[in-house]
Amino acid sequence: MPEKLEVQQGTLALMILKTLEGLGPLHGYGIARRIEEVSKFRLSLNYGTLYPALLKLEQEGFIKAEWRQSENNRRAKYYGLTAAGRKQLARETREWNQTADLIAAFLAPRREAP
């Protein structure tokens, strides 16, 4: 089993939004599973990490929750992206890419000065 990582502050929101964009409305279990899969099980999400993050996104108006029947005929709370959430996702993706580029540039092995 690969080494588990703690999810980094601030990145979880982006992962949740991206997951919902890709898969449409999903319950908390589904979101957690999906994030774990995409991370190749390097990440594992506690409820205590996932649900406050979902609530925060909901409070900010980026996702909307509703109770529905699940595929297995079970009642579950489904989260879906809102229009504001889509915009936020685009913005955060852009910012994240910029930051990642920047950090990558910093960490790249330096060439010796000629």
32 binds another protein (CB under 8 A): yes
**Which member of 56, 86, 93, 96 binds another protein (CB under 8 A)?**
56
Please tell me the distance from the alpha carbon of residue 110 to that of residue 82, in angstroms, as a whole number: 43
Q: Is-contact 54 79, C-beta < 8 A?
A: yes
As measured in angstroms, the least distance from the Cβ of 111 to another protein is 38
Please tell me the distance from the alpha carbon of residue 9 to that of residue 12, in angstroms, as a whole number: 7
9 binds another protein (CB under 8 A): no
Q: Which of residues 81-100 bind another protein (CB under 8 A)?
A: 84, 88
49 binds another protein (CB under 8 A): yes
**Which member of 38, 64, 76, 96 binds another protein (CB under 8 A)?**
76
Tell me which residues touch another protein (CB under 8 A).
27-29, 32, 44, 46-49, 51-52, 55-56, 59-62, 70, 72, 74-77, 84, 88
